[in-house]
Structure 1
């Protein structure tokens, strides 16, 4: 039997195995292109992370490294490029190090707290705050466009400071989606907390927002102050009042316009339509004469409730709330008022912020100057303070609150017309009415007292109308003694 020659097959088998080893080494081994690329990317990223630059992403292609992310300065931008280049020693095909660094690093601010926001007004959207990258910016702008809003005003800046960019991006897109159906509307994120406010076009939208924010998981939280669709709105901005929504009928619409026109000298924009429910317009007419004296704000009616917000002088807010509490017609009233500080131009040169013994004299001078340049009006023959006195009352309250540590005596005076007994009683009642107002506005009751002198202490002759007018007055006496 002839022996089989195994040498040749074994030779070819060995040669094949050797080729397989060489191919594996070329394509998958540590010195292969793929192996070198993986090693470079891992080493560079590890080096950057160890130096505190974990917000930077390194991607290798061959022996070239592409860097992306945000850095706080051009100096760190160059430093990061040098770290990437030196992560595996000198570059070169033989050594397997980095041969080229392509930097797309962008310079941005380090932000804390991390703030982002978006607002919609008249179908235009403004995007503000910070984003962690241009990629995220693009996602947010693209999402905003998908909602069909008009102009998109992108004022966002690059900022560093996020722990988890992917989670934050998803949260931001969620927040942006809540703006759909709000006109106007605003969302703002501070770190991981979302605030939503605005006016919804449907009550279903209010319920939807309330529902979805309760399902947020840690670390994200949210709150909403979104209100339902308004049946009617009066909005004041500077010297302009805009009326919109639905008046019940033409008669109610004319009455609303008349109430604004009679009490407001600025521009009135009437966008009101006809429709909606009946019965609320009379209560709106109670509020409007006061509301037009706000510095800015909104008076609206929806679902059996009046919503009143804005910046108002203290006396205007006080008179408004008084009237609405007694003549609200059974409707609910909700307030969100920022009280405006009065203009104390009469007190130029007087420093009410001074401390020490001089403050008693300063307070006395301040009250005197306020009363020299302003007037307190009372209803004829009565002790009721006229609402024409609102501005004067605001100024007196402001001074009294600064001087609250002293005793403030309020003195009432009249002219000599009528009997002495009636004049004493009337002057005492008017002084007490002023004292009651100050206490009502937050002054301590034990520091306020009042007394009426009738016509016993005239400031001028009662022989002339001008003199009698000067004698009908309120004066303030400030002392450091305890009030009795």
Structure 2
């Protein structure tokens, strides 16, 4: 058996020190090299992991910033016990901590407060002449101040109007970041509005080709859990819906908006499962086109009207037409159309537009129509 005596000369000792030095250098390079656990990347990687852990734990409305390996949480929760639960989720999001293992070493919850939640969670920024108006809910006072500062920076010649309030219930820790990007991109548009309603992001407006391209690059696939609906035109042209050319939906009156709905429905039908209000997947394209019009026109009241033929009992037809109009209105609201501007009404067989004496006439009478009023 060979033993190591530190007082005995050993020709291999220099090799030992070289080996130890090499191991130390390798460890240092490992910490500094471009991988997920590298020191220079650690705060960003940890922030992503903490955000993921908070989402999984049911706290999407808490924002995260990393100060080294300390996670600082901010936002609103509904119960005192939620603060400790969220802190525990953040602390264990990336192991047990320490500089070498790359974990969170501590969690600061001093910026987490108790408060009311808002459902749906809605926020918007709108260009309004010489003003830019921010309204709706922000997840914290810091977020509110951040978004107002972003508006002042991106719109230096406009008055930034703060109609926001602080409320819990934001859909993601990235809420403020996504809202800030919306402000930045809207500043390059000619006109427009951006909305976040729960996890639905909507941008409505008109801009040049470069501005619209930048908007699409940023928001066609927004960060999870957000999904987007972009109802934008390029220098006044709706390239996605050529049948709407010549209609100014941004500044037009209610009659112009109703004409746009009529044009889309001239060659399209919203299909439902037989005897049901379940929308057939084949109708998704036309519904998305209708949502684009509704988004640009929901400054007016929009009635979604359901109609049936006269086959079967009248009371059943009345009920079916109401359920189908509700289904369409709910779909539009799910795409970001202001729910307060939508009304669903079922007329059953009472307003036929063709004779029910033929199958073709009955098919024509089974329809959804849109009525727009000021």
Q: TM-score, normalised by structure 1?
A: 0.32
TM-score, reference length from structure 2? 0.40
Q: Which protein is bigger by CA-based radius of gyration?
A: 1
Higher relative CO (CA 8 A, sep ≥ 6), structure 1 or 2?
Answer: 2
